[in-house]
Amino acid sequence: MSDSSRSVPRGRVRRFGKFARLAGGVAGNMLAEGAKQVASGQRPKARDLLLTPANARRLTRQLSEMRGAAMKLGQILSMDSGDLLPRELADILATLRNAAYAMPERQLDEVLTEAFGVEYPSVLTDFEQKPFAAASIGQVHRLRSARGQPAVLKIQYPGVRESIDSDVDNLAALLKVSGLLPKHMDISPLLTEVKAQLHEEADYKQEAKYLRAFVKGLGSDERFLLPRVITSLSGSRVLGLTYVEGVAIEEVADEDQEERDRVMSLLFELLLIELFELGLVQTDPNFANYRYNPETGQVVLLDFGASKYFPDTFTTAYLDLLASAIEGDRMGMAAAAETAGYSLGPEGSPYREIVLDLLQLALEPISCGEAYDFGESTLPMRLANMGQQIQGNKEYWEVPPMYAAYIHRKIAGLFLLASRLKARVNIHELVLPWLD
């Protein structure tokens, strides 16, 4: 989290002005860089001028200051596995995952007064003014519950909920006009779903319901540690939770190979439980949503705002897809993929074969039949290269079905973490019980 605080810009006009200045600044940087390259005898390409370090800094700084849907959409796009965005843009947006500013005290006072009344200092015991975490939609403060136990309070940034639709439209327009998104790409289904997801994430009462559902579904599994909702401290824009002890999940990298493998196996198994048992998936793969308790070996689960119920029709089709991939049955894969909502193109078309190749490649860790070494894997690079082939078939290419897109994001995040931990996981073995 940034050490400095910045006011959250409020109102459509003011936030649109931020986007306009961002676009103007990016264009100005392009002109300056272009003039410099022409003067040195080079013939610069527009794409290279867009993706300069100066534009990267401008884009991430501005979205970090705006927070809300603008920053969240950047985070969502950054988790793309290579078949949607230019890799360079995804890397730029990836810096948004932990780049939020805190709001100043006057805005914090405004939100707390609205939630608890002017006497809120007497309601919030040992409340720490400085947040210990800040993200796209809100920030988190330490305090104590009425029983004197350590607790945290999630506080939503003012104006975030009201600016979701306009923010998403403005950022999408900026990326489209700038050329950072391919002109032929129709991302309207993605934008519609992103808006719906963000409206739900901005309702902390809904997040509390999701957390209670996960506690009910996983509460007896002692391998996981989940916070509990403090009802007296919760509303639609504030969420009180019991404090759960843990360190950053990345610190598991300091453990021995066996423990790294165990923790990562547990996270992959959790996805299978979410998808095929609970039908409820926490779709945000941000590392900050996981922590690790080194004393107990438990995985701590946090932040359930981006959870999503999945229909049985999709989960059944996706399980059939996994089974067919393991068996090497391409006809079965095609049938399951189309049932799940993938667009494969006409029978016998090169595009259809490329999509099936891509799915088969993406499922390599599941179908290999042994422990998969994520630390040595070149799978992301191979997927990105094949994704470029799909974009070349403009007449057939479509955005993946939304439920599949959520799973892609979650798997991409787990793959990234497994690579960071240099873990070896036999995912094939984890999936087999579900196939039986």
> Which pLDDT tens digit goes with each residue over 226-274?
999 999 999 999 999 999 999 999 999 999 999 999 999 999 999 999 9
Predicted local distance difference test score (pLDDT) of residue 221: 93
Please name the helix (run of DSSP H) or strand (run of DSSP E) that holds residue 299, with its range, or none: strand 299-301
Predicted local distance difference test score (pLDDT) of residue 65: 54
CB 384 within 8 Å of CB 82: yes
Looking at the structure, tell me whether residues 112 and 220 fall in a common domain.
yes
Q: Is the pLDDT of residue 328 over 80?
A: yes
Predicted local distance difference test score (pLDDT) of residue 50: 45
Examine residue 196 and state whether it is found in any structural domain, yes or no.
Answer: no
Domain count, the chain: 3
Q: How confident is the model at residue 106 (pLDDT cuts 50, 70, 90)?
A: confident
Examine residue 40 and state whether it is found in any structural domain, yes or no.
Answer: yes
Q: Is the pLDDT of residue 410 over 50?
A: yes
Examine residue 1 and state whether it is found in any structural domain, yes or no.
Answer: no
Question: Torsion angle of alpha carbons 101, 104, 110, 115, nearest 10°?
Answer: 50
CB 340 within 8 Å of CB 324: no
User: Which of 243-257, 370-384, 387-401 is least confident?
Assistant: 387-401
The CA distance from 111 to 26, in Å, is 33
What mean pLDDT do residues 379-394 have?
Answer: 72
What mean pLDDT do residues 308-314 have?
Answer: 95
Looking at the structure, tell me whether residues 19 and 115 fall in a common domain.
no
Q: Is the pLDDT of residue 379 over 90?
A: no
What mean pLDDT do residues 309-324 have?
Answer: 95
CB 239 within 8 Å of CB 144: no
Q: What is the pTM of this model?
A: 0.78
Predicted local distance difference test score (pLDDT) of residue 48: 45
User: Which of 74-83, 296-305, 414-423 is least confident?
Assistant: 74-83
Q: Is the pLDDT of residue 97 over 60?
A: no
Examine residue 59 and state whether it is found in any structural domain, yes or no.
Answer: yes
Predicted local distance difference test score (pLDDT) of residue 197: 80
The CA distance from 101 to 109, in Å, is 16
CB 242 within 8 Å of CB 228: yes
Q: How confident is the model at residue 368 (pLDDT cuts 50, 70, 90)?
A: confident
Residue 304 is given by DSSP the state -
What mean pLDDT do residues 108-131 have?
Answer: 93
Q: To which residue do tokens 């596995």 refer? A: 81
Predicted local distance difference test score (pLDDT) of residue 23: 43
Looking at the structure, tell me whether residues 278 and 323 fall in a common domain.
yes
Q: What are phi and psi of 34, to 5 degrees?
A: -65, -45
pLDDT, one tens digit per residue, over 123-132 is: 999 999 999 8
Predicted local distance difference test score (pLDDT) of residue 93: 53
Predicted local distance difference test score (pLDDT) of residue 179: 57
Predicted local distance difference test score (pLDDT) of residue 288: 84
Residue type present at position 73: L
Q: How far is CA 306 from CA 130, 143, 259, 367, 407, in A?
A: 25, 24, 28, 29, 12
What does the block give as tokens for 128? 């720490």
Q: How confident is the model at residue 391 (pLDDT cuts 50, 70, 90)?
A: low
Check 80, 284, 303, 320 and give the catalytic one.
284
CB 325 within 8 Å of CB 363: yes
**353/15: higher pLDDT:** 353
Predicted local distance difference test score (pLDDT) of residue 185: 59
DSSP codes joined into one string, 198-256: HHHHT-HHHHHHHHHHHHHHHTT-TTEE---EEGGG--SSEEEEE----EEGGGGGGS-
The CA distance from 33 to 55, in Å, is 10
Looking at the structure, tell me whether residues 277 and 128 fall in a common domain.
no
Q: Is the pLDDT of residue 9 over 70?
A: no
Residue 267, helix vs strand vs coil: helix
Examine residue 197 and state whether it is found in any structural domain, yes or no.
Answer: no
What mean pLDDT do residues 321-343 have?
Answer: 92
Looking at the structure, tell me whether residues 227 and 341 fall in a common domain.
no
Predicted local distance difference test score (pLDDT) of residue 187: 67
Examine residue 72 and state whether it is found in any structural domain, yes or no.
Answer: yes
Predicted local distance difference test score (pLDDT) of residue 234: 95
Q: What is the CATH number of the domain that holds 136?
A: 3.30.200
Q: What are phi and psi of 153, to 5 degrees?
A: -130, 115
Predicted local distance difference test score (pLDDT) of residue 158: 84
Annotated catalytic residue 284? yes
Determine the length of the chain: 436
Q: Quote the domain boundaries for residue 234.
A: 104-156+203-244
Looking at the structure, tell me whether residues 147 and 62 fall in a common domain.
no
Examine residue 6 and state whether it is found in any structural domain, yes or no.
Answer: no
Question: Torsion angle of alpha carbons 307, 340, 269, 133, nearest 10°?
Answer: -30
Q: To which residue do tokens 């787990």 refer? A: 414
Predicted local distance difference test score (pLDDT) of residue 323: 94
pLDDT, one tens digit per residue, over 167-201 is: 777 767 766 665 555 565 566 777 787 788 888 88
Looking at the structure, tell me whether residues 25 and 146 fall in a common domain.
no
Examine residue 57 and state whether it is found in any structural domain, yes or no.
Answer: yes
CB 400 within 8 Å of CB 189: no
Looking at the structure, tell me whether residues 240 and 276 fall in a common domain.
no
Predicted local distance difference test score (pLDDT) of residue 186: 64
Q: How confident is the model at residue 349 (pLDDT cuts 50, 70, 90)?
A: confident
Predicted local distance difference test score (pLDDT) of residue 138: 83
Q: How far is CA 88 from CA 73, 74, 78, 409, in A?
A: 16, 13, 10, 17
**HEC states along 334-352?**
HHHHHHHCCCCCCCCCHHH
The CA distance from 17 to 34, in Å, is 25
Looking at the structure, tell me whether residues 415 and 310 fall in a common domain.
yes
Q: How confident is the model at residue 332 (pLDDT cuts 50, 70, 90)?
A: very high
Looking at the structure, tell me whether residues 276 and 407 fall in a common domain.
yes
Looking at the structure, tell me whether residues 129 and 170 fall in a common domain.
no
**158/312: higher pLDDT:** 312
Looking at the structure, tell me whether residues 361 and 378 fall in a common domain.
yes
